[in-house]
Structure 1
Amino acid sequence: MYQTDPPQPAKATLPTMYDLPSEHPEDPGLPDEFHLLQPELLRLTFRPPTYAADHVFSASDLNLYYDASHVQWYKRPDWFGVLGVPRLYEERDLRLSYVTWQEGVTPFVVVELISPGTEAEDLGRTLRDASKPPNKWTVYEQILRIPYYIVFNRYTDELQAFGLMMTRYQPIPLEGLGVWFEDAELGLGLWEGTYQGIHRLWLRWYNRDQQWVLTPAEQEAQRAEQEAQRAERLAAQLRALGVEPDA
Protein backbone atom coordinates (compact mmCIF):
# COMPACT_ATOMS: atom_id res chain seq x y z
CA MET A 1 0.00 0.00 0.00
CA TYR A 2 1.07 3.55 -0.49
CA GLN A 3 -0.12 6.79 0.97
CA THR A 4 -1.36 9.59 -1.20
CA ASP A 5 -1.37 13.25 -0.33
CA PRO A 6 -4.66 14.48 1.11
CA PRO A 7 -6.82 16.43 -1.32
CA GLN A 8 -6.08 20.13 -1.34
CA PRO A 9 -8.91 22.61 -0.86
CA ALA A 10 -9.99 24.36 -4.01
CA LYS A 11 -8.40 27.73 -4.54
CA ALA A 12 -10.79 30.52 -3.69
CA THR A 13 -12.13 32.25 -6.74
CA LEU A 14 -13.03 35.87 -6.19
CA PRO A 15 -16.20 37.15 -7.85
CA THR A 16 -15.89 39.36 -10.89
CA MET A 17 -17.92 42.31 -12.08
CA TYR A 18 -20.46 39.90 -13.57
CA ASP A 19 -21.01 38.21 -10.20
CA LEU A 20 -21.44 41.35 -8.12
CA PRO A 21 -24.63 43.35 -8.65
CA SER A 22 -24.76 46.98 -9.64
CA GLU A 23 -27.60 47.65 -7.23
CA HIS A 24 -29.59 46.06 -4.44
CA PRO A 25 -33.38 46.15 -4.07
CA GLU A 26 -33.19 47.41 -0.49
CA ASP A 27 -31.11 50.44 -1.38
CA PRO A 28 -32.93 53.78 -1.65
CA GLY A 29 -33.07 55.59 -4.96
CA LEU A 30 -31.35 58.82 -5.82
CA PRO A 31 -32.42 61.58 -3.42
CA ASP A 32 -32.92 64.43 -5.88
CA GLU A 33 -32.28 65.76 -9.38
CA PHE A 34 -29.08 67.52 -8.30
CA HIS A 35 -27.50 64.09 -7.74
CA LEU A 36 -28.15 63.36 -11.41
CA LEU A 37 -27.03 66.65 -12.95
CA GLN A 38 -23.92 67.40 -10.90
CA PRO A 39 -22.19 64.05 -11.53
CA GLU A 40 -23.08 64.36 -15.21
CA LEU A 41 -21.29 67.72 -15.42
CA LEU A 42 -18.28 66.25 -13.63
CA ARG A 43 -18.14 63.38 -16.11
CA LEU A 44 -18.43 65.60 -19.17
CA THR A 45 -15.60 67.89 -18.05
CA PHE A 46 -13.24 65.27 -16.56
CA ARG A 47 -10.76 65.11 -19.43
CA PRO A 48 -7.16 64.82 -18.17
CA PRO A 49 -4.97 66.03 -21.07
CA THR A 50 -2.20 63.45 -20.58
CA TYR A 51 -4.54 60.44 -20.66
CA ALA A 52 -6.28 59.02 -23.70
CA ALA A 53 -10.04 59.25 -23.47
CA ASP A 54 -10.34 55.45 -23.62
CA HIS A 55 -8.10 55.11 -20.56
CA VAL A 56 -10.11 57.32 -18.23
CA PHE A 57 -13.17 56.03 -16.40
CA SER A 58 -15.68 57.87 -14.25
CA ALA A 59 -18.99 56.86 -12.77
CA SER A 60 -21.75 58.04 -10.49
CA ASP A 61 -23.94 55.98 -8.18
CA LEU A 62 -22.07 52.82 -9.23
CA ASN A 63 -21.21 50.15 -6.67
CA LEU A 64 -17.53 50.31 -5.73
CA TYR A 65 -16.41 46.94 -4.28
CA TYR A 66 -13.32 47.34 -2.15
CA ASP A 67 -12.62 44.32 0.09
CA ALA A 68 -11.75 40.88 -1.29
CA SER A 69 -12.29 39.44 2.20
CA HIS A 70 -15.85 40.77 2.26
CA VAL A 71 -16.87 40.56 -1.36
CA GLN A 72 -20.42 41.84 -0.79
CA TRP A 73 -19.27 45.05 0.89
CA TYR A 74 -19.39 48.10 -1.32
CA LYS A 75 -19.75 51.86 -1.33
CA ARG A 76 -21.64 53.88 -3.90
CA PRO A 77 -19.89 57.23 -4.43
CA ASP A 78 -21.83 60.10 -5.90
CA TRP A 79 -19.00 60.37 -8.44
CA PHE A 80 -15.50 58.98 -8.84
CA GLY A 81 -12.78 59.13 -11.47
CA VAL A 82 -10.07 56.60 -12.33
CA LEU A 83 -6.91 57.26 -14.34
CA GLY A 84 -5.08 54.70 -16.44
CA VAL A 85 -7.84 52.10 -16.61
CA PRO A 86 -9.67 51.15 -19.82
CA ARG A 87 -12.91 53.02 -20.37
CA LEU A 88 -14.61 49.65 -20.93
CA TYR A 89 -14.31 46.63 -18.67
CA GLU A 90 -11.60 44.41 -20.17
CA GLU A 91 -11.83 46.85 -23.10
CA ARG A 92 -15.08 45.30 -24.33
CA ASP A 93 -18.00 45.79 -21.95
CA LEU A 94 -19.83 48.52 -20.06
CA ARG A 95 -19.30 48.17 -16.33
CA LEU A 96 -22.01 46.84 -14.04
CA SER A 97 -19.93 47.85 -11.02
CA TYR A 98 -16.32 48.70 -10.20
CA VAL A 99 -14.55 45.76 -8.55
CA THR A 100 -11.16 46.92 -7.33
CA TRP A 101 -9.55 43.47 -7.02
CA GLN A 102 -10.40 42.78 -10.66
CA GLU A 103 -9.51 46.21 -12.00
CA GLY A 104 -6.18 46.53 -10.19
CA VAL A 105 -6.52 50.34 -10.14
CA THR A 106 -8.26 52.29 -7.39
CA PRO A 107 -10.03 55.61 -8.02
CA PHE A 108 -7.93 58.76 -8.23
CA VAL A 109 -10.62 61.03 -6.81
CA VAL A 110 -14.01 60.59 -5.18
CA VAL A 111 -16.72 63.25 -4.84
CA GLU A 112 -19.55 63.01 -2.33
CA LEU A 113 -22.49 65.42 -2.42
CA ILE A 114 -23.55 66.04 1.15
CA SER A 115 -27.17 65.92 2.16
CA PRO A 116 -28.51 66.20 5.72
CA GLY A 117 -28.93 62.45 5.94
CA THR A 118 -25.44 61.56 4.68
CA GLU A 119 -23.19 64.22 6.22
CA ALA A 120 -22.01 62.12 9.18
CA GLU A 121 -21.24 59.14 6.94
CA ASP A 122 -19.48 61.23 4.30
CA LEU A 123 -17.26 63.01 6.82
CA GLY A 124 -16.36 59.92 8.84
CA ARG A 125 -18.33 60.84 11.95
CA THR A 126 -20.22 57.56 12.25
CA LEU A 127 -19.06 54.61 14.32
CA ARG A 128 -19.98 51.06 13.47
CA ASP A 129 -19.58 47.60 14.92
CA ALA A 130 -16.42 45.86 13.72
CA SER A 131 -18.50 43.15 12.09
CA LYS A 132 -20.24 45.68 9.85
CA PRO A 133 -18.87 47.58 6.87
CA PRO A 134 -16.81 50.71 7.68
CA ASN A 135 -18.02 54.17 6.75
CA LYS A 136 -17.12 55.86 3.47
CA TRP A 137 -14.35 57.97 4.95
CA THR A 138 -12.60 54.90 6.33
CA VAL A 139 -12.93 52.98 3.08
CA TYR A 140 -11.60 55.82 0.95
CA GLU A 141 -8.82 56.79 3.36
CA GLN A 142 -7.58 53.55 4.90
CA ILE A 143 -8.65 50.69 2.63
CA LEU A 144 -8.56 52.04 -0.92
CA ARG A 145 -6.23 54.94 -0.06
CA ILE A 146 -7.80 57.17 -2.69
CA PRO A 147 -5.48 60.19 -3.16
CA TYR A 148 -8.21 62.84 -3.17
CA TYR A 149 -11.60 63.10 -1.51
CA ILE A 150 -13.95 65.99 -2.32
CA VAL A 151 -17.08 66.87 -0.37
CA PHE A 152 -19.61 69.45 -1.58
CA ASN A 153 -22.65 70.72 0.29
CA ARG A 154 -25.08 72.20 -2.20
CA TYR A 155 -27.22 73.65 0.58
CA THR A 156 -24.39 75.85 1.88
CA ASP A 157 -22.22 75.83 -1.30
CA GLU A 158 -19.29 74.69 0.87
CA LEU A 159 -16.53 72.82 -0.95
CA GLN A 160 -14.06 70.77 1.09
CA ALA A 161 -11.03 68.99 -0.35
CA PHE A 162 -8.91 66.36 1.37
CA GLY A 163 -5.64 64.81 0.25
CA LEU A 164 -4.03 61.63 1.49
CA MET A 165 -0.93 62.57 3.49
CA MET A 166 0.91 59.49 4.73
CA THR A 167 -2.01 57.49 6.13
CA ARG A 168 -4.65 60.17 6.80
CA TYR A 169 -6.71 62.68 4.90
CA GLN A 170 -5.66 66.26 5.47
CA PRO A 171 -7.60 69.36 4.35
CA ILE A 172 -6.37 70.96 1.14
CA PRO A 173 -6.72 74.76 1.03
CA LEU A 174 -8.63 76.12 -1.94
CA GLU A 175 -6.63 78.48 -4.13
CA GLY A 176 -7.70 80.35 -7.22
CA LEU A 177 -10.64 78.55 -8.79
CA GLY A 178 -10.44 75.59 -6.41
CA VAL A 179 -7.98 72.74 -5.91
CA TRP A 180 -5.37 71.61 -8.44
CA PHE A 181 -4.54 67.93 -9.13
CA GLU A 182 -1.11 67.82 -10.75
CA ASP A 183 -1.28 64.11 -11.61
CA ALA A 184 -4.37 64.72 -13.72
CA GLU A 185 -3.37 68.23 -14.86
CA LEU A 186 -6.86 69.36 -13.93
CA GLY A 187 -8.39 71.47 -11.20
CA LEU A 188 -11.79 71.23 -9.56
CA GLY A 189 -13.66 74.30 -8.44
CA LEU A 190 -17.04 76.00 -8.13
CA TRP A 191 -18.38 77.49 -11.33
CA GLU A 192 -21.35 79.84 -11.29
CA GLY A 193 -23.36 79.26 -14.40
CA THR A 194 -26.32 77.62 -16.07
CA TYR A 195 -26.32 73.89 -16.69
CA GLN A 196 -29.38 72.06 -18.01
CA GLY A 197 -31.39 75.22 -17.44
CA ILE A 198 -30.41 75.54 -13.77
CA HIS A 199 -28.34 78.53 -12.64
CA ARG A 200 -26.29 77.93 -9.49
CA LEU A 201 -22.82 76.99 -8.27
CA TRP A 202 -21.64 73.74 -9.83
CA LEU A 203 -18.58 71.60 -9.29
CA ARG A 204 -16.59 71.67 -12.50
CA TRP A 205 -13.13 70.81 -13.83
CA TYR A 206 -10.77 73.47 -15.15
CA ASN A 207 -7.46 73.35 -17.03
CA ARG A 208 -3.97 74.71 -16.36
CA ASP A 209 -4.93 78.01 -18.00
CA GLN A 210 -7.66 78.49 -15.39
CA GLN A 211 -10.29 77.92 -18.05
CA TRP A 212 -13.33 75.77 -17.35
CA VAL A 213 -13.32 72.58 -19.41
CA LEU A 214 -16.15 72.76 -21.92
CA THR A 215 -18.83 70.12 -22.26
CA PRO A 216 -19.32 68.62 -25.75
CA ALA A 217 -22.45 70.75 -26.18
CA GLU A 218 -20.54 73.90 -25.25
CA GLN A 219 -17.73 72.96 -27.64
CA GLU A 220 -20.24 72.57 -30.46
CA ALA A 221 -21.85 75.91 -29.63
CA GLN A 222 -18.43 77.55 -29.54
CA ARG A 223 -17.53 76.12 -32.94
CA ALA A 224 -20.84 77.32 -34.37
CA GLU A 225 -20.20 80.82 -32.97
CA GLN A 226 -16.70 80.88 -34.44
CA GLU A 227 -18.03 79.80 -37.83
CA ALA A 228 -20.68 82.52 -37.71
CA GLN A 229 -18.05 85.13 -36.85
CA ARG A 230 -15.81 83.90 -39.67
CA ALA A 231 -18.70 84.08 -42.12
CA GLU A 232 -19.53 87.61 -40.98
CA ARG A 233 -15.90 88.73 -41.43
CA LEU A 234 -15.85 87.24 -44.93
CA ALA A 235 -19.12 88.98 -45.79
CA ALA A 236 -17.71 92.30 -44.58
CA GLN A 237 -14.63 91.85 -46.77
CA LEU A 238 -16.79 91.12 -49.79
CA ARG A 239 -18.92 94.19 -49.16
CA ALA A 240 -15.75 96.32 -48.93
CA LEU A 241 -14.92 95.05 -52.42
CA GLY A 242 -18.37 96.02 -53.68
CA VAL A 243 -19.65 92.46 -53.77
CA GLU A 244 -22.95 91.58 -52.14
CA PRO A 245 -22.44 88.32 -50.22
CA ASP A 246 -25.96 87.07 -50.93
CA ALA A 247 -25.67 87.59 -54.66
Structure 2
Amino acid sequence: MIRLPTQSNPPDSPRQTLPTMYDLPSDNPEDPGLPDEFHFFQPLLLLLTFQPTNWNWEQVFSACDLNLYYDVNHTHWYKRPDWFGVVGIPRLYEQRELRLSYVIWQEEISPFVVVELLSPGTEDEDLGRTVAKAGNPPSKWHVYEKILRVPYYVIFSRYTYQLQIFHLVEGNYQRMNLTDNRFFMPELGLSLGLWSGRFREINGQWLRWMTPSGELIPTDNEQAILAEERATAAQEQAILAEERAIAAEERAQQLAQRLRELGIDPDNL
Protein backbone atom coordinates (compact mmCIF):
# COMPACT_ATOMS: atom_id res chain seq x y z
CA MET A 1 0.00 0.00 0.00
CA ILE A 2 1.34 3.44 -0.96
CA ARG A 3 1.04 6.16 1.64
CA LEU A 4 1.43 9.80 0.83
CA PRO A 5 4.19 11.57 2.77
CA THR A 6 3.14 14.20 5.26
CA GLN A 7 5.08 17.43 5.49
CA SER A 8 3.71 18.92 8.68
CA ASN A 9 4.21 15.97 11.02
CA PRO A 10 7.45 15.00 12.79
CA PRO A 11 8.96 11.60 11.85
CA ASP A 12 7.67 9.88 14.99
CA SER A 13 4.15 11.31 14.91
CA PRO A 14 1.20 8.89 15.29
CA ARG A 15 -0.01 9.96 11.84
CA GLN A 16 3.07 8.34 10.31
CA THR A 17 3.65 5.41 12.63
CA LEU A 18 0.18 4.11 13.53
CA PRO A 19 -2.31 2.30 11.23
CA THR A 20 -4.34 4.43 8.81
CA MET A 21 -7.97 4.10 7.77
CA TYR A 22 -6.79 1.72 5.04
CA ASP A 23 -5.41 -0.59 7.72
CA LEU A 24 -8.46 -0.21 9.98
CA PRO A 25 -11.53 -0.38 7.72
CA SER A 26 -13.97 -0.92 10.60
CA ASP A 27 -14.11 -0.79 14.38
CA ASN A 28 -14.19 -4.59 14.46
CA PRO A 29 -11.25 -6.15 12.57
CA GLU A 30 -12.97 -9.54 12.76
CA ASP A 31 -15.93 -8.26 10.75
CA PRO A 32 -14.59 -6.90 7.43
CA GLY A 33 -18.12 -6.42 6.13
CA LEU A 34 -18.99 -3.51 8.38
CA PRO A 35 -19.98 -0.56 6.20
CA ASP A 36 -17.80 2.37 5.29
CA GLU A 37 -19.14 5.68 3.94
CA PHE A 38 -19.62 4.32 0.44
CA HIS A 39 -21.71 1.48 1.86
CA PHE A 40 -24.05 4.12 3.27
CA PHE A 41 -24.38 6.50 0.33
CA GLN A 42 -24.58 3.98 -2.51
CA PRO A 43 -27.45 1.89 -1.02
CA LEU A 44 -29.22 5.14 -0.11
CA LEU A 45 -29.16 6.24 -3.76
CA LEU A 46 -30.59 2.87 -4.81
CA LEU A 47 -33.33 3.18 -2.20
CA LEU A 48 -34.26 6.72 -3.27
CA THR A 49 -34.48 5.86 -6.98
CA PHE A 50 -36.20 2.45 -6.75
CA GLN A 51 -39.60 3.40 -8.19
CA PRO A 52 -40.91 0.49 -10.29
CA THR A 53 -43.41 1.75 -12.83
CA ASN A 54 -45.24 -1.58 -12.99
CA TRP A 55 -46.12 -1.58 -9.29
CA ASN A 56 -48.08 0.64 -6.93
CA TRP A 57 -45.67 2.37 -4.56
CA GLU A 58 -47.60 0.94 -1.61
CA GLN A 59 -46.59 -2.54 -2.77
CA VAL A 60 -42.86 -1.81 -3.03
CA PHE A 61 -40.33 -2.29 -0.24
CA SER A 62 -36.57 -1.79 -0.25
CA ALA A 63 -33.95 -1.73 2.46
CA CYS A 64 -30.28 -1.11 3.12
CA ASP A 65 -28.21 -3.30 5.43
CA LEU A 66 -31.27 -5.01 6.91
CA ASN A 67 -31.08 -8.58 8.25
CA LEU A 68 -32.73 -11.04 5.87
CA TYR A 69 -33.74 -14.29 7.62
CA TYR A 70 -34.23 -17.11 5.13
CA ASP A 71 -34.28 -20.55 6.80
CA VAL A 72 -37.23 -21.69 8.91
CA ASN A 73 -35.11 -24.54 10.27
CA HIS A 74 -32.29 -22.20 11.32
CA THR A 75 -34.10 -19.10 12.49
CA HIS A 76 -30.93 -17.27 13.52
CA TRP A 77 -29.25 -17.58 10.12
CA TYR A 78 -29.40 -14.43 8.09
CA LYS A 79 -27.76 -12.46 5.31
CA ARG A 80 -27.46 -8.69 5.30
CA PRO A 81 -27.56 -7.43 1.69
CA ASP A 82 -26.16 -3.98 1.05
CA TRP A 83 -29.49 -3.27 -0.63
CA PHE A 84 -32.50 -5.29 -1.73
CA GLY A 85 -35.88 -4.57 -3.25
CA VAL A 86 -39.16 -6.45 -3.00
CA VAL A 87 -42.34 -5.97 -5.05
CA GLY A 88 -45.83 -7.21 -4.25
CA ILE A 89 -45.39 -6.66 -0.50
CA PRO A 90 -46.78 -3.83 1.67
CA ARG A 91 -44.34 -1.04 2.34
CA LEU A 92 -45.01 -1.40 6.08
CA TYR A 93 -44.94 -4.70 7.94
CA GLU A 94 -48.55 -5.94 8.02
CA GLN A 95 -49.35 -2.42 6.76
CA ARG A 96 -48.79 -0.84 10.16
CA GLU A 97 -45.12 -0.51 11.20
CA LEU A 98 -41.53 -0.27 10.06
CA ARG A 99 -39.63 -3.54 9.77
CA LEU A 100 -36.93 -4.57 12.22
CA SER A 101 -35.80 -7.27 9.80
CA TYR A 102 -37.10 -9.17 6.78
CA VAL A 103 -38.25 -12.66 7.81
CA ILE A 104 -39.00 -14.78 4.76
CA TRP A 105 -41.32 -17.29 6.49
CA GLN A 106 -43.54 -14.41 7.57
CA GLU A 107 -43.29 -12.21 4.48
CA GLU A 108 -43.54 -15.19 2.07
CA ILE A 109 -42.18 -13.12 -0.81
CA SER A 110 -38.48 -13.18 -1.68
CA PRO A 111 -36.58 -10.08 -2.75
CA PHE A 112 -36.82 -9.41 -6.47
CA VAL A 113 -33.35 -7.90 -6.71
CA VAL A 114 -30.35 -7.94 -4.38
CA VAL A 115 -27.29 -5.69 -4.66
CA GLU A 116 -23.96 -6.44 -3.02
CA LEU A 117 -21.09 -3.94 -3.06
CA LEU A 118 -17.75 -5.70 -3.27
CA SER A 119 -15.41 -5.36 -0.30
CA PRO A 120 -12.00 -7.01 0.04
CA GLY A 121 -13.29 -8.99 3.02
CA THR A 122 -16.52 -10.22 1.35
CA GLU A 123 -15.59 -10.46 -2.34
CA ASP A 124 -15.17 -14.24 -2.49
CA GLU A 125 -18.53 -14.90 -0.85
CA ASP A 126 -20.30 -12.24 -2.93
CA LEU A 127 -19.02 -13.87 -6.12
CA GLY A 128 -19.87 -17.40 -5.04
CA ARG A 129 -16.28 -18.57 -4.63
CA THR A 130 -16.68 -19.86 -1.09
CA VAL A 131 -18.09 -23.21 0.01
CA ALA A 132 -19.75 -23.32 3.41
CA LYS A 133 -18.56 -25.90 5.89
CA ALA A 134 -21.01 -28.53 7.12
CA GLY A 135 -23.24 -27.10 9.80
CA ASN A 136 -22.42 -23.50 8.91
CA PRO A 137 -24.72 -21.05 7.13
CA PRO A 138 -24.59 -21.27 3.31
CA SER A 139 -22.93 -18.56 1.23
CA LYS A 140 -24.77 -15.49 -0.02
CA TRP A 141 -24.71 -16.80 -3.56
CA HIS A 142 -26.30 -20.09 -2.53
CA VAL A 143 -28.96 -18.36 -0.45
CA TYR A 144 -29.92 -15.92 -3.21
CA GLU A 145 -29.80 -18.49 -6.02
CA LYS A 146 -31.01 -21.73 -4.46
CA ILE A 147 -33.00 -20.87 -1.34
CA LEU A 148 -34.65 -17.51 -1.99
CA ARG A 149 -34.40 -17.80 -5.79
CA VAL A 150 -33.93 -14.05 -6.16
CA PRO A 151 -34.57 -13.21 -9.85
CA TYR A 152 -31.74 -10.65 -10.10
CA TYR A 153 -28.45 -10.60 -8.22
CA VAL A 154 -26.29 -7.51 -8.77
CA ILE A 155 -22.63 -7.09 -7.82
CA PHE A 156 -20.84 -3.74 -8.11
CA SER A 157 -17.20 -2.90 -7.42
CA ARG A 158 -16.42 0.66 -6.40
CA TYR A 159 -12.75 -0.01 -7.13
CA THR A 160 -13.00 -1.17 -10.76
CA TYR A 161 -16.52 0.23 -11.52
CA GLN A 162 -17.41 -3.23 -12.78
CA LEU A 163 -21.13 -3.96 -12.76
CA GLN A 164 -22.23 -7.60 -12.92
CA ILE A 165 -25.90 -8.54 -13.15
CA PHE A 166 -27.02 -12.16 -12.84
CA HIS A 167 -30.49 -13.35 -13.85
CA LEU A 168 -32.04 -16.53 -12.50
CA VAL A 169 -32.65 -18.80 -15.49
CA GLU A 170 -33.93 -22.34 -14.89
CA GLY A 171 -32.70 -22.24 -11.32
CA ASN A 172 -29.19 -20.95 -12.01
CA TYR A 173 -27.68 -17.50 -12.25
CA GLN A 174 -26.56 -16.42 -15.68
CA ARG A 175 -24.53 -13.27 -16.17
CA MET A 176 -26.33 -10.80 -18.40
CA ASN A 177 -24.87 -8.53 -21.06
CA LEU A 178 -25.11 -4.80 -20.40
CA THR A 179 -25.97 -2.01 -22.82
CA ASP A 180 -24.24 1.29 -22.06
CA ASN A 181 -23.41 -0.04 -18.59
CA ARG A 182 -27.05 -0.65 -17.72
CA PHE A 183 -29.58 -3.47 -17.83
CA PHE A 184 -33.35 -3.32 -18.36
CA MET A 185 -35.60 -5.31 -16.02
CA PRO A 186 -38.99 -5.46 -17.77
CA GLU A 187 -40.76 -6.84 -14.70
CA LEU A 188 -40.04 -3.54 -12.93
CA GLY A 189 -40.19 -1.18 -15.89
CA LEU A 190 -36.74 0.07 -14.83
CA SER A 191 -33.12 -0.07 -15.86
CA LEU A 192 -30.22 -0.39 -13.45
CA GLY A 193 -26.95 1.16 -14.50
CA LEU A 194 -23.90 3.29 -13.80
CA TRP A 195 -24.03 7.06 -13.63
CA SER A 196 -21.21 9.58 -13.29
CA GLY A 197 -22.48 12.45 -11.22
CA ARG A 198 -22.83 14.22 -7.90
CA PHE A 199 -24.83 12.67 -5.07
CA ARG A 200 -24.94 14.18 -1.58
CA GLU A 201 -22.24 16.64 -2.68
CA ILE A 202 -19.92 13.76 -3.66
CA ASN A 203 -18.75 13.29 -7.24
CA GLY A 204 -18.36 9.69 -8.26
CA GLN A 205 -19.46 6.70 -10.27
CA TRP A 206 -22.77 5.56 -8.84
CA LEU A 207 -25.17 2.68 -9.35
CA ARG A 208 -28.76 3.88 -9.67
CA TRP A 209 -32.16 3.13 -11.13
CA MET A 210 -33.18 4.63 -14.46
CA THR A 211 -36.02 4.53 -16.97
CA PRO A 212 -35.92 1.87 -19.72
CA SER A 213 -34.30 4.42 -22.05
CA GLY A 214 -31.63 5.36 -19.50
CA GLU A 215 -33.08 8.59 -18.12
CA LEU A 216 -32.43 9.10 -14.42
CA ILE A 217 -35.08 8.39 -11.81
CA PRO A 218 -34.65 11.56 -9.72
CA THR A 219 -34.26 11.58 -5.97
CA ASP A 220 -36.49 13.83 -3.85
CA ASN A 221 -33.72 16.42 -3.70
CA GLU A 222 -33.18 16.27 -7.46
CA GLN A 223 -36.94 16.63 -8.02
CA ALA A 224 -36.95 19.72 -5.79
CA ILE A 225 -34.04 21.20 -7.75
CA LEU A 226 -35.79 20.45 -11.05
CA ALA A 227 -39.01 22.03 -9.77
CA GLU A 228 -37.09 25.11 -8.68
CA GLU A 229 -35.35 25.32 -12.05
CA ARG A 230 -38.69 25.00 -13.87
CA ALA A 231 -40.23 27.69 -11.65
CA THR A 232 -37.26 29.97 -12.31
CA ALA A 233 -37.48 29.31 -16.05
CA ALA A 234 -41.22 30.00 -16.02
CA GLN A 235 -40.65 33.24 -14.11
CA GLU A 236 -37.97 34.28 -16.58
CA GLN A 237 -40.32 33.51 -19.48
CA ALA A 238 -43.04 35.60 -17.85
CA ILE A 239 -40.65 38.51 -17.34
CA LEU A 240 -39.46 38.20 -20.94
CA ALA A 241 -43.05 38.13 -22.22
CA GLU A 242 -43.87 41.22 -20.14
CA GLU A 243 -40.80 43.02 -21.48
CA ARG A 244 -41.78 42.12 -25.04
CA ALA A 245 -45.32 43.41 -24.44
CA ILE A 246 -43.97 46.69 -23.03
CA ALA A 247 -41.58 47.02 -25.97
CA ALA A 248 -44.43 46.37 -28.43
CA GLU A 249 -46.59 48.99 -26.72
CA GLU A 250 -43.75 51.51 -26.87
CA ARG A 251 -43.25 50.82 -30.59
CA ALA A 252 -46.98 51.26 -31.22
CA GLN A 253 -46.99 54.58 -29.40
CA GLN A 254 -43.92 55.76 -31.32
CA LEU A 255 -45.58 54.78 -34.60
CA ALA A 256 -48.80 56.60 -33.65
CA GLN A 257 -46.82 59.72 -32.75
CA ARG A 258 -44.99 59.58 -36.07
CA LEU A 259 -48.27 59.32 -37.96
CA ARG A 260 -49.68 62.32 -36.11
CA GLU A 261 -46.58 64.31 -37.03
CA LEU A 262 -47.35 63.43 -40.64
CA GLY A 263 -50.93 64.66 -40.24
CA ILE A 264 -52.48 61.21 -40.07
CA ASP A 265 -54.85 60.25 -37.28
CA PRO A 266 -53.87 56.67 -36.28
CA ASP A 267 -57.26 56.17 -34.61
CA ASN A 268 -58.99 56.45 -37.99
CA LEU A 269 -56.82 53.92 -39.77
Q: What range describes the TM-score normalised by the shorter chain of this pair?
A: 0.7 to 0.9
Query: Is 2:102 the partner of 1:103?
Result: no
Instruction: Give the structure-1-normalised TM-score.
Output: 0.85
Instruction: Give the structure-2-normalised TM-score.
Output: 0.79
Query: Is 2:155 the partner of 1:112?
Result: no
TM-fit CA distance, 1:27: 6.3
Q: Give the 3 Å change call, closer, same or farther, for CA 118–29 of structure 1 in structure 2.
A: closer
Match of 1:173 in 2: 177
Which amino acid in the other structure matches residue 232 of structure 1? Answer: E
Match of 1:19 in 2: none
Q: Of the two, which has the highest radius of gyration?
A: 2
Distance in 2 (alpha carbons) for counterparts of 1:189 and 1:164: 19
Identity of aligned residues (%): 53
Match of 1:59 in 2: 63
Deviation beyond 2 Å, 4+ runs, structure 1: 26-31
Query: Is 2:151 the partner of 1:142?
Result: no
Alignment of 1:118-137 (within 5 A): 118-137=122-141
Q: Give the 3 Å change call, closer, same or farther, for CA 85–27 of structure 1 in structure 2.
A: farther
Greater per-residue helix proportion: 2
Which amino acid in the other structure matches residue 42 of structure 2? Answer: Q
Q: Give the 3 Å change call, closer, same or farther, for CA 67–196 of structure 1 in structure 2.
A: same
Which amino acid in the other structure matches residue 103 of structure 2? Answer: V
- 5+ long unaligned stretches in structure 2: 1-29, 248-269
Q: Does the aligned pair in 1 maintain the 2:33–2:119 contact within 8 Å? A: no
Partner SS for 1:112: strand
Alignment of 1:166-205 (within 5 A): 166-205=170-209
TM-fit CA distance, 1:79: 0.3
Query: Is 2:37 the partner of 1:33?
Result: yes
- 5+ long unaligned stretches in structure 1: 1-25
The size of the alignment, in residue pairs, is 218
Match of 1:68 in 2: 72
Q: Does the aligned pair in 1 maintain the 2:54–2:187 contact within 8 Å? A: no
Which amino acid in the other structure matches residue 176 of structure 2? Answer: I
TM-fit CA distance, 1:112: 0.1
Q: Does the aligned pair in 2 maintain the 1:141–1:167 contact within 8 Å? A: yes
Distance in 1 (alpha carbons) for counterparts of 2:155 and 2:201: 24
TM-fit CA distance, 1:130: 2.1
Which of these residues, 83, 87, 90, is aligned with residue 91 of structure 2? Answer: 87
CA RMSD of aligned residues (A): 1.4
Which amino acid in the other structure matches residue 129 of structure 2? Answer: R
Distance in 1 (alpha carbons) for counterparts of 2:84 and 2:64: 7
Q: Give the 3 Å change call, closer, same or farther, for CA 29–149 of structure 1 in structure 2.
A: closer
Partner SS for 1:110: strand
Alignment of 1:1-20 (within 5 A): none
Q: Does the aligned pair in 2 maintain the 1:177–1:210 contact within 8 Å? A: no
Q: Give the 3 Å change call, closer, same or farther, for CA 186–171 of structure 1 in structure 2.
A: same
Distance in 1 (alpha carbons) for counterparts of 2:34 and 2:224: 30
TM-fit CA distance, 1:104: 1.1
Query: Is 2:52 the partner of 1:48?
Result: yes
